[in-house]
Amino acid sequence: MKPNSQGLKQRPSHDTEREFGGTLGALCIPILLPLTVMFLICVSRSPEASLLQWPPALPSTDQLWDPLALVLLLGWISLHALLYVLPLGKVSEGLVLRNGTRLKYPINGFHSLCISGVLLMLLLGLGAPLGSLFELLLPLAACAIAGSYLFSLYLYIRSFWVPSHALALGGNTGNPLYDFFIGRELNPRIGNFDLKYFCELRPGLIGWVVINLGMLMKEVELRGSPSLAMILVNSFQLLYVADALWNEEAVLTTMDIVHDGFGFMLVFGDLAWVPFTYGMQAAFLVVHPQALSSLGAAAIIALNGIGYYVFRKSNSQKNQFRRDPTHPSVARLETIATATGKRLLVSGWWGLVRHPNYLGDLLMALAWSLPCGFSHLLPYFYVIYFAVLLIHREDRDERQCRAKYGLAWDTYCQRVPYRIFPYVY
C-alpha cells in the first residue's frame, strides 16, 4: 500500500466535537479500563469480592502470563476468522458510504455460534477441561488487552494509507492520541475481510458465552453440579448473544458500524471488555455460590423475559420501519416528517420513550445480576456500568439526531419527553 497524500494531509477538517472527554479521556481510558478488567477478575475470585478493596493485591507475573492463554486466544480468533470467510449464510449490503458505494458483509455470525457450540460439545465429550478457563481468565484477559493495544496501533498506522473518504468524520482531528483512541478509519478491510464488523459480534461476544460455560464447568468440578443461579446467568447471556447473532444484519445500521472509526475504543471493547467483564456474574458464582429459591428464580426469569421482549420488539420495529416503512407491521404507526426525507416514529415502542431498546437492555442486565444475591456489589457492576454507558450513548445519539433532523427532532422530543425510563428519565 502506498501512503495517500490526502490521508497524510488530513487536518481537523471536520469540526467535530470530541467525545469521551477529548484528549484527557483518550489518555486515561486506555489505561484505566484495562486495569479495571484485571481488577474485577482479581476481586471476583477473592473471598471478600469487595469493590472497595483498595489498593488491590497485585497479581504476580506467573498469574498474568501463561503461553497456553496466548495459544487459545490466537486459535479462537483464527477459528472465527475461518468461519467468517466460509460461504455460509447470505451476504448483505451496508448503508451507502460518503463516496456513494456500499460494502458487502457476510451474515453468518449465527452459523459461527452454532459451529462453535458443536465444537465445544465435542471437546467436552473428549474430556477437555473447560473448567480450567477459570484459572486462565487472568492471562487470557492480559493477552486480549495486549492484543488490543497492538491491533489498534496497526489500525491507526494503516489509516494513513487510505483515501480521506474512508476516514470516520469524528476520528480525524489530527490529535494522534485522540484519533488512536476513537479510530480514524471507518471500515478497515483486508481484501473483503472487514476487521470492525468481524470484531463487533464474533470472537469477543461468542468468547463471553464460552467463558461462562467454563465457569459453569468449574462449578461442576467443585460442587458436582451447576447451581440454579449459574444456569440462569449462562442461559440469559446465551440468549442475548444468540439474539445479537441471529439479528446480525441489524448491526450494519448501528452507530458503531455507520459512524464510529475503528480504534482502541471499539477494539478493546469488543475483544477484552465484553468477554472479560460482561461474564463477571458467572466468575463470581464459582467462588461465591448462591442459593436461589424457585420463586426468586421465576421472578428473575420473568424480568429477563420482559426486558428481552421490550428490547427485541423495539429494535425490530425500528429496523423494519427503516428498511420498509410501508410494511404492514409499521405502516399504521404515527410518524413525523424530517427535512432529510426520513420519518421518525412517534407511536408504538418509539412513542413510549426515545430509547425503548435501551430500557429493555437494562432490565435484562438487572436480571443477570439478581441470581448473585444481594450480599455483594460486584455482580451488579455490569448493570451499573451499562446504565452509565447507555445514558452516555443516548446523549451522543440525541446530539447526532438533533444535528441530522433539527426542528423535527425537537418536535419528537416534545411528543416523547422521556429518554429511557418512562416518567423518570
Residue numbers of the site for ligand NDP (CB under 6 A)? 254-255, 311, 315, 318, 321-322, 342, 344-345, 350, 355, 357-358, 361, 393, 397, 400-401, 412
Q: How far apart are CA 290 and CA 280, in angstroms?
A: 14
Residue number with CB closer to ligand NDP (101 or 340): 340
Q: For the CB of residue 358, give the shortest distance to ligand NDP in the complex, in Å.
A: 5
* Residue placing its CB nearer to ligand NDP in the complex, 233 or 344: 344
Q: Are 59 and 137 in contact (CB under 8 A)?
A: no
What does the alpha-carbon distance between residue 395 and residue 254 come to, in Å, rounded to a whole number?
15
Shortest CB 11 distance to ligand NDP, Å = 27
Q: Among 284, 318, 373, 231, which Cα is nearest to 40's?
A: 284
**By C-beta, is 181 or 240 nearer to ligand NDP?**
240
**Grid coordinates in use for 362?**
437494562
CA–CA distances in Å: residue 419 to residues 79, 300, 307, 320, 423: 40, 25, 16, 21, 9
The distance of closest approach from Cβ of residue 289 to ligand NDP in the complex, given in angstroms and rounded to an integer, is 27
Nearer to ligand NDP, 34 or 226 (CB): 34
As measured in angstroms, the least distance from the Cβ of 290 to ligand NDP is 24
Q: Given the complex with ligand NDP, which of 130 and 244 has the nearer CB atom?
A: 244
**Looking at the DSSP assignment, which residues form a beta bridge with residue 105?**
92
Give the separation between CA 425 and CA 391, rounded to whole angstroms: 10
Angle at 197 between CA 393 and CA 187, to 5 degrees: 85
- The least distance separating ligand NDP from the CB of residue 235, rounded to whole angstroms, comes to 17
- Of 40 and 292, which CB lies nearer to ligand NDP in the complex structure? 40
Angle of helix 280-287 relative to helix 203-223, nearest 10 degrees, comes to: 10
CB of 373 to ligand NDP, least distance (A): 23
Nearest to ligand NDP of 45, 322 (CB atom)? 322
Q: Is 289 exposed, middle or buried (0-12, 13-18, 19+ CB in 10 A)?
A: middle
Beta bridge partners of 107: 90
Minimum distance from residue 54 beta carbon to ligand NDP (Å): 26
- What does the DSSP assignment read for 363-418? HHHHHHHGGG-SS-SGGGHHHHHHHHHHHHHHHHHHHHHHHHHTHHHHHHHHHS--
CB of 278 to ligand NDP, least distance (A): 7
Name the CA radius of gyration of the chain, rounded.
22
Q: Residue 229 CB, nearest distance to ligand NDP (Å)?
A: 21
Residue 218 or 355 having the CB closest to ligand NDP? 355
CA dihedral of 319, 324, 326, 332, whole degrees rounded to 10: 10
Mapped onto helix, strand or coil, the DSSP state of residue 138 is: helix
Nearer to ligand NDP, 92 or 400 (CB): 400
- Nearest approach in angstroms of CB 344 to ligand NDP is 4
Least CB distance to ligand NDP at residue 204 (A)? 10
Quick one: 180 or 412, whose CB is closer to ligand NDP? 412
In the bound state with ligand NDP, the residue whose beta carbon lies nearer, of 45 and 259, is 259
* Residue in the structure block whose three cell numbers are 467462588: 287
- For 228, 245, 419, the CA distances from 393, given in Å and listed in that order, are 33, 21, 11
Q: Is the CB of residue 144 less than 8 Å from the CB of residue 156?
A: no
Cβ atoms of 186 and 195 closer than 8 Å = no
